[in-house]
Amino acid sequence: MDWLGRAKIDFAHAATPLPLTKKDGTKTDLLKVVESAVPKCQMNPLLFNGHLQTMYTAVKEHGPQIYYRRKIFDADHKTYAGTFAVDFVVPPHQDVDEELPPRTACFSEGEFDGIGSDDNKPMLIALHGLSGGSHEIYLRHAIAPLVLDGGKWEVCVVNARGCASSKVTTGVLFNARATWDVRQFIRWARKTFPNRPLFGIGFSLGANIMTNYVGEEGANCPLKAAIAVSNPFDLEVSNKGLQSTWLGKEVYSKVMGNNLKKLFENHKEQILKYTNVDYDRVQNVTYLHEFDRAVQTVTWGYPTENAYYRDASSCDAILAIRIPFLAISALDDPIAVREAIPYQEFAVNPYTVLCTTSLGGHLSWFEMGGGRWHPKPICNFLNAMATEIHLEAIKHDVAMEGEGKYQFNTEFNPVRRKLIVIE
């Protein structure tokens, strides 16, 4: 049926999914909530494979009109100092800032000083993909049903450093395992909006970061639930997948490499001031992995880009998640390749469910008429969790499948990292 655009949907999950209680007192579980949230997946039959779906994203469309106000936060991390920008969804405004993405303007000091609230609106914190930002069309499509036409959600986007026209102030660019900025912001949101249930979502590289964050926080995660969309999971496997085909290397990897070179050029002065990156070497970069070799290994201290990929991958973090977690991936995704999906990890952790579609490409899922499929399961799941599920009754100590049945007295730490910050 795939060739007619009807994608097959499958779920990977633990044999005994996380039990949940509805607000009316009835019992359900995470898998049932996910299955109810995921509708049929009917893709545009003219975009019949992952390459066509993914390449169609180059067709310019206006997308939903989402307006933002930006606040610059000072990072509180002792080592990774600097600033990062957070864009809050706000009602339409007429302010224009030529230096920022469309429909985005900064808060005035007075406006932001009064942003705190005791309301109990659900709040979604989003992370974008590689070199993107709050302006990305796939992201705006995903959040539009939550905030437009009477939507009752509050939404904000944490932009990676240097992205979405934000400034780089200490030479620190994005990093695939950089969870510190989103962690700081979520702590701030928990304090500023004490009654709001907080939820998280990440797309592509942002999905990898969100997954790592949720895993690192474990049972203490302040989020009530999280979603990862088109997560590359195992970055080394995904990178090898890109380099193994002509399209992967000469189209996707080259486009991403060029985008990162432009990002570097936008912040060249600050990066070169605070790091020992070889500018001439960056100028000769063609592919994504070459950029990571020239910039990421130098600035972060990895000996090779593959060491960076292994350290930053989120596949093991799946095992440490202790909040309801949904991952949505397309099996024909040419960037976050199916070989990198950690099926076994989803199959043993009752807090997680993986939804795969046989069609959809990378952050695409184009339907007939130009609409997107992915906002439907995203918004259905978030609304179900926020309005139907008794969030405070969720247990954070449910055992994984087979946990505690080891032959030897050993312990596996799924979020252990090899990059050590030397104070």
Q: What is the CA radius of gyration of the chain?
A: 21
Q: Which of 131, 134, 166, 204 is catalytic?
A: 204
Q: Tell me the torsion sign for CA atoms 318, 135, 297, 290.
A: positive
Which of 30, 24, 15, 22 is CA-nearest to residue 322?
30
In DSSP terms, 200 is beta-bridged to 125, 226
Q: Which of 333, 358, 364, 374 is catalytic?
A: 333
Separation of alpha carbons 197 and 225, rounded Å? 9
Phi-psi bin for 157: left (phi > 0), alpha (psi -120 to 50), beta? beta
Q: How many CA atoms lie within 13 A of 23 on its CB side?
A: 7
Separation of alpha carbons 201 and 209, rounded Å? 10
- Tell me whether residue 362 is one of the annotated catalytic residues: yes
Q: Nearest 10 degrees: CA dihedral of 110, 114, 115, 121?
A: -150
Q: How many CA atoms lie within 13 A of 36 on its CB side?
A: 12
- Tell me whether residue 204 is one of the annotated catalytic residues: yes
DSSP code at position 366: B
N-terminal to C-terminal alpha carbon distance within the chain: 57
CB atoms within 10 A of CB 145: 18
Q: Which of 13, 267, 289, 362 is catalytic?
A: 362
Segments in 205-267 forming alpha helices (H): 205-217, 235-243, 246-247, 254-266
Could you tell me the two tokens for 172? 């620190």
Could you tell me the two tokens for 121? 């609106």
- Tell me whether residue 117 is one of the annotated catalytic residues: no
Q: To which residue do tokens 């299955």 refer?
A: 35
CB atoms within 10 A of CB 291: 23
Separation of alpha carbons 291 and 48, rounded Å? 31
Pairing relationship of beta strands 225-229 and 6-7 according to DSSP bridges: unpaired
Separation of alpha carbons 24 and 47, rounded Å? 43
Could you tell me the two tokens for 26? 């009835």
Q: How much helix, strand and coil, in percent to the nearest 5, is found in the chain?
A: 40, 15, 45
Catalytic residues: 204, 333, 362
